[in-house]
Amino acid sequence: MCGIVGAVAERNITTILIEGLKRLEYRGYDSAGLAVFTQQGNLERRRRIGKVSELETAVAAEPLAGNLGIAHTRWATHGAPTEHNAHPHFSGHELAVVHNGIIENHEELREKLKGLGYSFSSETDTEVIVHLLDHTLKTLPDLADALKAAVKQLHGAYGLAVISAKQPDRLLAARSGSPLVIGLGHGENFLASDQLALRQVTDRFMYLEEGDIAEIRRDQVTIWDVAGTQVQRETVQYHEGAEAADKGAYRHFMLKEIHEQPTVVQRTLEGRLGKDHVMVQAFGPQAAELFAKVRNVQIVACGTSYHAGMVARYWLESLAGIPCQVEVASEFRYRKVVVQPDTLFVSISQSGETADTLAALRNAKELGFLGSLAICNVGISSLVRESDLTLLTQAGPEIGVASTKAFTTQLVSLMLLTLSLGQVRGTLAAGVEAELVEELRRLPTRLGEALAMDAIVEKTAELFADKHHTLFLGRGAQFPVAMEGALKLKEISYIHAEAYPAGELKHGPLALVDSDMPVVTVAPNNELLEKLKSNLQEVRARGGELIVFADEAAGMSNGEGTHVIAVPHIIDALAPILYTIPLQLLSYYVAVLKGTDVDQPRNLAKSVTVE
């Protein structure tokens, strides 16, 4: 999704802007641009379709140097990914804007501005902002005053940065629905949509809140809140995660992040497990009181996070005896929902800024839920700020667009939720909590053992190199794991992959099975194993090639057209977490064989902050 970087300094800021954009590449984008107030006193820009490296080449060919600038990576929403739609957008030669988000009333504003004599050079919603600001400056010549007035006319979501050649000592910013952070330097200050973009220049940050407007000068930052009152925002020193933008010895961020899972799962458990129980207060001081009243759970999320929610439904119902519904946020938010009394609303999100999930939470507040809990990886996200309770996953920044470590830390967090609800409500069977707490402690080691399957999975990936379609099968809590496996494969290898509950096979999808359709299955040693084995026979009988990730003790062996890969044994309740690992590795190695852009797959964005 779009990214913003801005700087006002004594030194030349062009390389800082480009480096910042590179650090935001992981969010996904299709064009990039920057505008600099040059030493010659002009506002100049360079824009390119494609990677930031193309922009860098353009800047090297036609250098730009200056002390004030803004830059952007664009993920097309209004208008195709072309150079004239790329940001920054100009009004005349003196005003430049970059914008994340969507201006919903852009058509109406465009007509109005055309009527005032403005002509448009792009199809973007963003261009209305810069002309509107230019028009407002005619009556309110101070840039901050004009921006405060202009944003009142914008409906929708924005994080935006503005510079003017007439007031070249300042950078202006406004936030409503799209995050922005100010990076504080010594005699220089910066702006970005994500602090990661600025870790090269500072470790001190100030996060803008909803409705804030900021005027950023070299030696001073002034912030006004939504009511127009001048406010101070806390300065936060950032310690962790600086290394996250570095692949280290790994070829891709995705592989690095897959291998980080034992560590980040360990971190997610830290401070949350007592001797034989989960510490409910990890969910916040009011958690125990709220959880005691919970009779139902409604989970809402998107994509991979939704799959985590689907696994949690099996856990909540089978372990804690609590009825649970799970729904994708884009459906939930527009459906007339009937809320059962005493239902806890749980949102799951890596970024905490996913537009549909946030909108679902905001709707939920009007619907009479008992309270809201966010399971999220970003502590400063909107989802966290707007929920009653939070459990932060400790995955650290996830750079690969395809989610891996965020998913497994979400699953661990959801197991903590299951045990906490069961504990407080007294619905867990005797000994279950103590046993699972013990197993959770061993989980990082188990995940390490699963990662040792790397080489065998890499070899197995060769079976997919010339395939165009695959089926993923699972039963029980392994069905969502199969769904997640299929999502990963399609996202990064572009191979069409579908997941089915194995029992559904003969109700339709079996018609697709032939020797060109590999069928991937996850087979822990549980009460559904025998049923699963029968389903696999149905596949073999139609000439389908089977790739089975099976418990060491499942009694399955290689045969013609059947490739069994042994997975270390684990207690059934935690099997969804462990079996995720070989499926992630499989997608990764298939994508590498296919030569795709593993970390930034086509058409996808890391943080989906628009609907």
Q: Is 166 a catalytic residue?
A: no
Least separation in angstroms between CB 491 and ligand F6R: 6
Q: How far is CA 287 from CA 280, 293, 348, 371, in A?
A: 7, 10, 17, 10
Query: What residues pair up with 231 in beta bridges, in sequence order?
Result: 223
Count the site residues for ligand F6R by CB under 6 A: 15
Least separation in angstroms between CB 407 and ligand F6R: 8
The single residue of 2, 302, 324, 376 carrying the catalytic annotation is 2
In the numeric block, which tokens belong to residue 558?
């290689």
Is residue 257 a contact residue for ligand F6R (CB under 6 A)? no
Is residue 392 a contact residue for ligand F6R (CB under 6 A)? no
Neighbours of 153 (CB within 10 A): 16
Q: Using CA of residue 485, residue 488, residue 494, residue 498, what is the dihedral sign?
A: positive
Any idea which residue has 């990662």 for tokens? Answer: 451
Q: How close are the terminal C-alpha atoms of the chain, in Å?
A: 12
Least separation in angstroms between CB 588 and ligand F6R: 12
Work out which of 193, 268, 354, 420 binds ligand F6R, going by CB under 6 A: 354
Q: Is 302 a catalytic residue?
A: no
Work out which of 28, 185, 303, 582 binds ligand F6R, going by CB under 6 A: 303
In 3D space, the residue among 74, 84, 64, 49 whose CA is nearest the CA of residue 17 turns out to be: 64
Least separation in angstroms between CB 262 and ligand F6R: 20
Any idea which residue has 């590179």 for tokens? Answer: 22
Is residue 304 a contact residue for ligand F6R (CB under 6 A)? yes
**Please, are residues 465 and 595 in contact by the beta-carbon 8 Å criterion?**
no
Site string (582-611) toward ligand F6R, x via CB under 6 A = -------------------------xx---
Is residue 580 a contact residue for ligand F6R (CB under 6 A)? no
Residues 469-508 binding ligand F6R (CB under 6 A) are 487, 491
* Binding segment toward ligand F6R, per CB under 6 A, in 16-24, 34-42, 276-284, 300-308: 300-308
H helix or E strand, kind and range, residue 102:
strand 95-103
Q: What share of the chain is helix, strand, coil (3-state, %, to 5)?
A: 40, 25, 35
Question: Nearer Cβ to ligand F6R, position 206 or 610?
Answer: 610
Give the DSSP per-residue string, 113-151: HHHTT---SSS-SHHHHHHHHHHHHTT--SHHHHHHHHH
Work out which of 31, 38, 178, 351 binds ligand F6R, going by CB under 6 A: 351
Is residue 178 a contact residue for ligand F6R (CB under 6 A)? no
Beta strands in 322-439 (DSSP E): 324-328, 343-349, 371-376, 389-392
* Binding segment toward ligand F6R, per CB under 6 A, in 79-87, 299-307, 457-465, 532-540: 299-307
Work out which of 147, 264, 302, 523 binds ligand F6R, going by CB under 6 A: 302
Residues found near ligand F6R in the complex (CB under 6 A): 302-305, 349-351, 354, 357, 402-403, 487, 491, 607-608
Residues with a known catalytic role: 2, 606
